[in-house]
Amino acid sequence: MNRTEIDLNEWERKEHYSFFSTFTEPFFGITIQIDCTSALVKTKEKGASFFLYYLYRAIKAANQVKNFRYRIINNKVYLYDVINASPTIGRANNTFGFSSMPFNEDESIFIKNAKEEIERVQNGTTLFPAPKDNDDFDAVIHCSALPWLNFTSMSHARNYNLPDSCPKISFGKVVTIDNKKQMSVSIHLHHGLADGYHVSIFADKFQEFMNS
């Protein structure tokens, strides 16, 4: 993965990074509502996977927000050229495995590769199925889908002894509100790398892509 080290002395977020990086819990979370009315119609007409439809658009939106591509590695900040998806994949026995889905601007290629990865993980039995290649696992967004729950907030299990700066995006149940199909989306980001403003940019882009 191509990445560029940030010169912290010249970085506009130098103080923010220094301040929030000392926190035991440096992540903040926001839950937004995304209108899925148009997206559901399109996926139904195409017989396509709604999960992969919104996952592609969420990762595409995240890639267009620079702050979603910052990562902290060995106390250094890097900006990745591209970040990928790492969603949890459910299995028939109601367990799940973690996956790795490289982002591709070509939606058809992304979905083809994602379907292969879903099959690979579903046919496995471990939490961490062996990766297909040596992907840089820092350059991911941790994703999860909870299609059974219409949540209004969320927290994540964390090991505070392990450094982590990867964003986490969770997608909820689609519900009908005022004759529109809506889905809760939870976004957690390291506050040293991003603020609520950057979540708003992501939300606007994600909604735009869901409508297109």
Alpha helices in the chain (DSSP H): 14-20, 37-46, 50-63, 107-122, 196-211
206, 145, 197, 131: which is closest to 174 by C-alpha?
145
Write down the pLDDT at residue 27: 97
pLDDT at res. 66: 98
Spatial distance between the Cα atoms of 51 and 3, rounded to a whole number of angstroms: 29
Distance of CA 10 to the CA centre of its chain: 28
Angle at 187 between CA 164 and CA 156, to 5 degrees: 55
pLDDT digits (tens, 9 = 90+) for 6-26: 999 999 999 999 999 999 999
Residue 73: the pLDDT is 94
Please name which of 168, 138, 141 lies closest in space to residue 77, comparing C-alpha atoms. Answer: 138
Rg (CA), the chain: 17
Sheet architecture: strand order including 76-80: 3-5, 76-80, 70-73
**The domain 3-211 is classified under which CATH number: 3.50.30.30, 3.30.559.10, 3.40.50.880, 3.40.50.1820?**
3.30.559.10
Give the mean pLDDT of 46-67.
98
Q: What is the pLDDT of residue 131?
A: 61
pLDDT of residue 132: 56
Say if CB 36 and CB 210 are below 8 A apart: yes
CA 147 from centroid of its chain's CA atoms: 16
- Give dist(CA 106, CA 84) in Å, integer: 13
> Is the pLDDT score of 195 beyond 80?
yes
pLDDT at 114: 97
Domain positions in the chain are: 3-211
Burial 101-132 (b: 16+ CB within 10 A, else e): bbbbeeeeebbebbeebbebbeeeeeeebeee
Which distant-in-sequence residues (6+ apart) come within 8 Å of 130 by Cβ?
A: none
pLDDT in tens, 61-120: 999 999 999 999 999 999 999 999 999 999 999 999 999 999 999 999 999 999 999 999
Q: What's the pLDDT at 129?
A: 72
**How do residues 128-183 score in pLDDT, each as one tens digit?**
876 655 457 789 999 999 999 999 999 999 888 888 999 999 999 999 999 999 99
* Phi, psi angles (nearest 5°) of residue 93: -90, 15
Q: Which two tokens stand for residue 166?
A: 């990867």
Task: Identify whether the C-beta of residue 68 lies closer than 8 Å to the C-beta of residue 78.
Answer: no
Residue 102's alpha-carbon distances to 53, 65, 91, 106, 124, in angstroms, are 15, 17, 21, 11, 19
Active site (catalytic) residues? 191
